[in-house]
Structure 1
Amino acid sequence: MKAMILAAGRGSRLRPFTDRVPKPLVEIAGMPLIGHHLCRLAAVGIRDVVINVAYRGDQIQAALGDGQRYGVSIRYSEETPGALDTGGGIAQATSVLGTDDFLLVNADVLTDFDFRQLMSPSPGAGSGPGLTLALIDNPAHHRRGDFGLVDGRLRDIAPRLTYAGIGRFSPGLFAARAGERFALTDIIQRAIQDGHAFGVHHPGRWIDVGRAATLARARQIG
């Protein structure tokens, strides 16, 4: 199974840190933030990782190289002249990801989520393209949440949980959209409408390392 890490954003909310260093390379516990994901993916047997890059992408590629030091093999999906947003970035990378389901991880979260929870299809998943999201209890900065979870299926109803930035996706969900700029929420909402969206609840550690305050917290707990 392959994994993709979304690392193309500008990290505007984390300025001035990201004026010099892209958010995925912000250091936590002596390692770039994205390095924590690479190590955890390698620990569950995932060796092939695709990383999309745009803002300061050259720095990310120089820092991570081919991924050997983290126990993985990295291929980069360069977005030029600018980032294609979350959905568009994935659509462009599907030619590298192949035809099998893949794991998706946002570079800017720190978590103890066990990726093995997503390495098998969700119960009830059919043969068509679908997705499974990791959901967390709503953090202070996002009290409304994103999606309801009923008997393992995502619903557009309250009460809602928050998308953790981690999921399992079928490449077919992004078919024929390469080159477009669009948000991943477009894909998720369509999958919910079609009955092909599932979820798992993660009660453990999760930090959105997107603000100075949450970066400080992440550095405290490592």
Structure 2
Amino acid sequence: MKAMIFAAGLGTRLRPLTDNQPKALVKINGKTLLEIVIQRLKKFGVQDMIINVHHHAQMIIDFLKSKNNFDLNIAISDETGMLLDTGGGLQKAAHFFEDGKPFIVHNVDILSNIDLGKMMDAHIQSGAIATLSTRHRATSRYLLFNKKNILYGWMNVRSGEMILSRKKKGKLSLRAFSGIHVIDPSIFDLMKKRKGKFSIIDVYLEVAAHHKIIAYPHDKDVWLDVGKLESIEEAKKILKKIL
């Protein structure tokens, strides 16, 4: 099984911890966020992964070398010249997923005990082009799904902006994206017109008009976005439940 870890972010919300190191190397109880995510992926059978880097990129590369790549096949997608966002970053790494098999994408700052094996199985059984981990939580931006958990659109509840990918039929539920995806490589053919920096969410909203993208609800799982300083203490408390 293959995976990609998004680790190229600037980590501005974690300053001053990220002034002199990348967000991926911020430590929780002595373990870096990157190591935690790698160990989680390895636990579920991932042997090959690619990690995108930008901010203090060499530090991540040196860290992986010091750990002997955790005895995995790890490639680096270098974005030091230009930060490509989630969509552009995924597109740059497309060559890594030429085996035609679905793969996992995981944000480096997400801690969760979600069962990635079950999520992969649900994706394969659904025939979806992408499966997105979601949960009910407070945020300003939500993905919209129908009763069958099929993606219909997006909404910013703060501004009232809404994007509908499909004609609305019945009530849609608002679910927050959890930063973990399972993606079929066929999506790369649908991204060819896009170049440079772009969001994968924008791709999903465009593709959802004619292709099935589904939610994988995991409200009962432990989950935390370690994106802000105030989340560090909470991360320390839940780490034992993650690994």
TM-score by length of 1: 0.89
Please name the residue that 2:24 is paired with: 24
Percent identity of equivalent pairs: 30
Alpha-carbon distance in structure 2 between the residues aligned to 1:201 and 1:63: 33
1:160-217 CA-partner distances (Å, limit 9, x unpaired): 1111100111223233257521111111112321232011111211111111111221
**Looking at CA atoms only, which structure, 1 or 2, has the larger radius of gyration?**
2
Pair 1:77-2:77 in alignment: yes
Which runs of 5 or more structure 1 residues have no equivalent in the other structure? none
Contact 1:147 1:163 in 2 (8 A): no
Please name the residue that 2:206 is paired with: 190
Contact 1:50 1:97 in 2 (8 A): no
Please name the residue that 2:130 is paired with: 131
Contact 2:33 2:109 in 1 (8 A): yes
Q: Match of 1:193, SS?
A: coil
May I ask how many residue pairs the two structures share in their alignment? 217
CA RMSD, 1 decimal: 2.0
Structure 1 residues 39 and 185: CA distance shift in structure 2, 3 A = same
Structure 1 residues 66 and 96: CA distance shift in structure 2, 3 A = farther
TM-score by length of 2: 0.82
Q: CA deviation at 1:64?
A: 1.6
Pair 1:100-2:97 in alignment: no
Alpha-carbon distance in structure 2 between the residues aligned to 1:179 and 1:43: 34
1:33-64 CA-partner distances (Å, limit 9, x unpaired): 11111111111111101101111111111112
Greater mean alpha carbon deviation, residues 44-53 or residues 98-107 = 98-107
Contact 2:145 2:175 in 1 (8 A): yes
Residue in structure 1 matching 2:152, options 155, 159, 172: 155
Please name the residue that 2:238 is paired with: 221
Structure 1 residues 69 and 173: CA distance shift in structure 2, 3 A = closer
Which runs of 5 or more structure 2 residues have no equivalent in the other structure? 154-170
